[in-house]
Structure 1
Amino acid sequence: MDPVIIVGAGPVGLTLALALARQEVPCVVLDEGPGKDEPRLARSVVLREDTTALIERLTGVPLGEAGTHWAGWRSVRRKQVMREVTFDDAAEDPENLGAPNPAPLHIAQHVLTGALRTALAGEPLVKIAVESRLDAIEQETSGVTVHTRGPKGTWWRGSYVVGCDGPRSTVRKLMDIRFPGRTAVERHAVAALRVELPWEGQALLHRMPPWRTSGASGGEVTGRPLPEGVWRLDWLLPPGKDLVTPELLVGHVRETLAGWSEGPTPSYELLDTGVHTVHHRLARRWRVGRVFIAGDAAHCLGALGTHGLDEGLRDADNLAWKLAPAWHQGPREALLDSYQTERRAVVAARLRAADQALPLLRTGSGLRSYVRGSARGLDALLTDGHLGQGAIGSPGTYAESPLAPKELEGEVPVDTPRGAPVADVRVTAEDGSFVQLRDRLGRGAMLVLLIAPGTGVWERKHWATAGIMPRLAAAVTALPYPAELLVAESYPGAAAHTVLLVRPDGHLVTALSGVRPADLYTAAETALGGPVKASAEEEEEEASATAGSR
């Protein structure tokens, strides 16, 4: 079987390659660059709890040591503090990973890609081809052939192609996929500087700062901490395409630092600058035969504090576990089709929410008719985007997915809605070790989690053959997909002996009351896209064998 060809060596492409390799799928990553990333502190990303856990699981690197988990969040309007949030220190307390208010992680993008490249350097199933720019794709029923130009231009043969090659995606263009939307929804001037600010470790959104003057600073500035006393500051620019000159940017820096310090401008070291332009676009199709697109190649979003990389990493996580069984066992078309159905719907909902909120947040028109207490309501919507909450910022659920089972007789509610990411509780693995639930994801297996109070104080050998465990273990063995049986003392909203079925990407399939083998099998089969249909050749062979036996 030919490898999966991944076009693009940014965070999404590298994450997808690692995720596939962990499921024993070989990959070729086509990198049009030299194989390393230019250090740019003005290019940083904010990762939520689930995407941080995904990268840490794949790389084995605790990202909190390379980035900064925010200690808190402050939202200020003029001189008034509108909202303060204190985060649970998940980086320092592993038991807090499933807490309701985990800290976002702010990390320089080149540091993130560096961690991914280091992990891939020791991965024998992944080959990275540098200075290889894609210029042709040819696909047929049995595979895909692509051509690259460059010093070592050649043809490559693959089983599937995934375009992770950014908003100007060559893969998307070669597949003639439309990419409608809006250009320059927002523009921000960006500066990375080393400076001491009054809010150590806290991110800050300051709207309508009182020191603003005509042509400087604008109406909104955001400060986000990075390691070693470095801060990234973003100033929302007025509509238009006015040039951001070095003089204007230095004026922004000096005025903002002086305003925050309530005195003279403190000493600072300017490290990097840039202009960040936000577009809102959504590809019409995310799959054409054996060719897929992901990340910025499939969607652009980022207004109102949201961060598109989170969604790109979720694309990679969603697609990896669906490509793996297709590579190992043959295509499951319904399963592969569900990638577009699930992911496009989630991103479309976030884009709609942001586009609907933009006129209210940026002009204030009609806000009172939508939100009680217009200033605080406006601030709450902006905070949702920055912190990954609400319709604008929170991770989506797949409740309406074609992979969601119909009503099951034994289904019971838990605090996690069907199709949503599961809570990261401590579990006992099959080898008797205590681990976090998310540590078992992405291994090419579904997870079956039994809630059994009291098991945490006994060694697994004492209860693994007692009570309902043998019957549940037999049901798990009979599932149509590899599955791992885990046990937890408790789970939010779950009664004792509840059985949870979790997809390899961490989304809940169903929760059942007790051991119900038929329901469990039906739910797992539906989550895989339904029963596997025999190919035309297999049907012909079966017919011949039947005829020969008569």
Structure 2
Amino acid sequence: MDPVIIVGAGPVGLTLALALARQEVPSVVLDEGPGKDEPRLARTVVLPEDTAALLTRLTGTPLADAGAHWAGWRSMRRKQVMRAVDFDTADDAEAREYDFGFGAAEEEPGEQPAEAAGPSPLHLAQHVLTGALRAALARQHLARVVVDSRVDAIEQEPSGVTVHTRGPEGTWWRGSYLVGCDGPRSTVRKLQDIRFPGRTAVERHAVAALRTELPWPGRALLHRTPPWRTSGPSGGEVTARPLPDGVWRLDWLLPPGKDLVTPDLLVARIRETLIGWTGEPSPSYELLDTGVHTVHHRLARRWRAGRVLLAGDAAHCLGALGTQGLDEGLRDADNLAWKLALAWHHGPRETLLDSYQSERRGAVAARLRAADQALPILRGGKGLRAYVPGTARGHDALLTDGHLGRGALGAPGSYAASPLTPRGLEGSVPVGTAPGAPVTDVRVTAEDGTFVRLRDRLGRGALLVVLVAPGTGVWERKHWVTAGVMPRLAAAVAALPLPAELLVAESYPGAAAHTVLLVRPDGHLVTALGGVRPADLYTAAEAALGGATVGGATAAPEAEAAAGSR
């Protein structure tokens, strides 16, 4: 069968190619450029811990080793200038005087105090991420990157896609599917005549990357109303994001309009901000890179046109906080990869492929709606649409949560309304994760008896079946694999319509003993069942695969019979 053609060699396109290769699907990545990325320290991304884990699985290397930095956020709410206060040791009186709201402050995921809401995000320059993805792709025999290849024609047939590229050696390419990951000006989207409505220049930020020392080493900062910047509806909001080697990315929210950001203006903002934060009359710094980040809000009308699909900025533009656009694009790739892999190996499944648009477009649309409702009040707008209940402190928390990957502006999307969600299962039970939401990364025992993280088993093209069995962690697998409910569950798993891996967890949030979780290859929960229920498990698996088995016949009764005979 022909490979999947991926148009665009940015982080989303490269991630999709690696995710497909992990599931034994070949791909060709058509790169319009020369195959190199210009180092730009002013162009960075902030990734939640689960998205960073996805990239670590695909590249085989922790991103922190490639030049990234874990950092929680702090929020300065009042206009007082911070001078001689130690963030980590300030007593309560001092903290009340300055009224600082702290976000998660841990520097490594999983080591936060109990009251913290979750691990810190990962900060890194985008060219560092792209370099790590390119290096991993170069080791893959199933993926090929072709540089200097600009797409100018696409032809579809029932059996595949043909693409023509311009360049030194313009040629035709044949593929099974085509995915446009070619950015907001997507040629693929235009050739498919897909509308891309939305708003342009929702926000603008002046950006500078510099090497300096700030009072909170390794901690990101959100300063809503610095006293030295009172002009404009935002009051001159400033964020600081740490990068390795003492480098910081600073963003200043610009007032509405198209005023040119001159070098003199940017240098003046750098100096007044550093003076305000450090209290030094002449702070030292080394300016490394500058830029202007413009936030657009756009959403493609369709994400699928037959065998042509869109992902990343080709399908959506968002990022009210200047950070989420790439994260959503990577989630697109993770969602699409296992569905394309299933179609490539076993034949097209229209409901499954259509679910990519309904799930991902729905999740991005929800975030765009949240930003549209929240930003007017957060930025000082007026009118009915600007109304968000809560005090100013609540507004600060909403914005900080967005930076941290939580709340309406930052939490990962859930696919509760997905066409792949099973309905009416008698044995379903509630757990700490709602159907369609990402599962919690608990420790599990794999089939070979080793202890692994649940997240490490994702992205292999297989469903995951997790039995919650307290006490099993203290025994070798051979002692309990043939005891209790395990033989019946193993038989039910073997009868599923897609290969599945059986895992055992000591516990899972909100789950009672003998709860059985069915997890999709991209880590979203299909359902939780109260005990071993082969027929329900089969029905749920069939729904998660688009409502039809690989062989084309329903086998739930046979699954029940096979499980009962063991």
Range class of TM-score, shorter chain: over 0.9
Q: Which moved more, 1:131-140 or 1:217-226?
A: 217-226
Paired with 1:533 and 1:521, the residues of 2 have a C-alpha distance of 13
Change (3 A) 1:413 1:92: closer
Asked if 1:247 is matched to 2:264, the reply is: yes
Paired with 2:170 and 2:76, the residues of 1 have a C-alpha distance of 51
Paired with 2:399 and 2:78, the residues of 1 have a C-alpha distance of 12
- For residue 430 of structure 1, what is the aligned residue in structure 2? 447
Identify which of 158, 162, 179 aligns with 2:179: 162
Identify which of 101, 113, 120 aligns with 1:83: 101
Identify which of 293, 300, 303 aligns with 2:317: 300
- For residue 394 of structure 1, what is the aligned residue in structure 2? 411
Give the secondary-structure state (helix, strand or coil) at the position aligned to 1:370: coil
Deviation at 1:49, TM superposition (A): 1.4
Deviation at 1:218, TM superposition (A): 5.5
- For residue 224 of structure 1, what is the aligned residue in structure 2? 241
Q: Would you say the 8 A contact 2:164–2:171 is kept in 1?
A: yes
Identify which of 436, 448, 467 aligns with 2:484: 467
Change (3 A) 1:363 1:72: closer
Paired with 1:208 and 1:72, the residues of 2 have a C-alpha distance of 16
Aligned length: 532
- For residue 405 of structure 1, what is the aligned residue in structure 2? 422
Paired with 2:346 and 2:237, the residues of 1 have a C-alpha distance of 53
Deviation at 1:214, TM superposition (A): 5.9
Deviation at 1:121, TM superposition (A): 0.5
- For residue 346 of structure 1, what is the aligned residue in structure 2? 363
- For residue 44 of structure 1, what is the aligned residue in structure 2? 44
Paired with 1:465 and 1:113, the residues of 2 have a C-alpha distance of 46
- For residue 28 of structure 2, what is the aligned residue in structure 1? 28
Asked if 1:501 is matched to 2:523, the reply is: no
Deviation at 1:385, TM superposition (A): 1.8
- For residue 67 of structure 1, what is the aligned residue in structure 2? 68
Q: Which letter maps to 1:164?
A: C
Identify which of 135, 146, 150 aligns with 2:163: 146
Paired with 1:213 and 1:284, the residues of 2 have a C-alpha distance of 39
Identify which of 309, 327, 334 aligns with 1:310: 327
Q: Which letter maps to 2:518?
A: L
5+ residue gaps, structure 2, are 81-97, 553-566
Q: Give CA deviations for 1:203-231 in whole Å, capped at 9, x if unaligned.
A: 1111221122769x962111010011000
Q: TM-score, normalised by structure 2?
A: 0.91
Q: Which moved more, 1:33-42 or 1:174-183?
A: 33-42
Q: Which letter maps to 1:55?
A: L
Q: Would you say the 8 A contact 1:186–1:237 is kept in 2?
A: yes
Q: Would you say the 8 A contact 1:218–1:237 is kept in 2?
A: no
Q: Would you say the 8 A contact 2:465–2:493 is kept in 1?
A: yes
Q: Give CA deviations for 1:503-522 in whole Å, capped at 9, x if unaligned.
A: 00000000001110000000
- For residue 289 of structure 1, what is the aligned residue in structure 2? 306
Paired with 1:359 and 1:92, the residues of 2 have a C-alpha distance of 34
Paired with 1:501 and 1:532, the residues of 2 have a C-alpha distance of 16
- For residue 263 of structure 1, what is the aligned residue in structure 2? 280
Paired with 1:530 and 1:35, the residues of 2 have a C-alpha distance of 41
Q: Would you say the 8 A contact 2:103–2:400 is kept in 1?
A: no
Identify which of 515, 522, 542 aligns with 2:539: 522
- For residue 197 of structure 1, what is the aligned residue in structure 2? 214
RMSD between aligned residues: 2.0
Q: Give CA deviations for 1:19-38 in whole Å, capped at 9, x if unaligned.
A: 00000000000001111111
Paired with 2:402 and 2:231, the residues of 1 have a C-alpha distance of 27
Asked if 1:277 is matched to 2:278, the reply is: no
Paired with 2:122 and 2:6, the residues of 1 have a C-alpha distance of 26
Asked if 1:415 is matched to 2:416, the reply is: no
Paired with 1:455 and 1:262, the residues of 2 have a C-alpha distance of 57
- For residue 546 of structure 1, what is the aligned residue in structure 2? none
Paired with 1:371 and 1:190, the residues of 2 have a C-alpha distance of 31
Q: Which letter maps to 2:27?
A: C
Q: Which letter maps to 1:410?
A: G
Deviation at 1:88, TM superposition (A): 4.4
Paired with 1:208 and 1:242, the residues of 2 have a C-alpha distance of 21
Give the secondary-structure state (helix, strand or coil) at the position aligned to 2:390: coil
Q: Would you say the 8 A contact 1:90–1:96 is kept in 2?
A: no
Change (3 A) 1:182 1:366: closer
Paired with 1:321 and 1:186, the residues of 2 have a C-alpha distance of 35
Q: Would you say the 8 A contact 2:73–2:103 is kept in 1?
A: yes
Paired with 2:411 and 2:231, the residues of 1 have a C-alpha distance of 35
Give the secondary-structure state (helix, strand or coil) at the position aligned to 2:489: helix
Identify which of 344, 357, 361 aligns with 1:327: 344
- For residue 545 of structure 1, what is the aligned residue in structure 2? none
Fraction of identical pairs, as percent: 77
Q: Would you say the 8 A contact 1:255–1:265 is kept in 2?
A: no
Q: Would you say the 8 A contact 2:72–2:121 is kept in 1?
A: no
Q: TM-score, normalised by structure 1?
A: 0.94
Deviation at 1:84, TM superposition (A): 0.5
Deviation at 1:73, TM superposition (A): 2.4
Paired with 1:292 and 1:322, the residues of 2 have a C-alpha distance of 12
Paired with 1:380 and 1:261, the residues of 2 have a C-alpha distance of 24
Give the secondary-structure state (helix, strand or coil) at the position aligned to 2:379: helix
Deviation at 1:369, TM superposition (A): 5.9
Please list, as runs of the form range in 1=range in 2, the aligned pairs for 1:175-214 lying within 5 A after superposition: 175-212=192-229
Identify which of 119, 131, 146 aligns with 1:102: 119
Q: Which letter maps to 2:103?
A: V
Q: Would you say the 8 A contact 1:72–1:201 is kept in 2?
A: no
Paired with 1:62 and 1:74, the residues of 2 have a C-alpha distance of 28
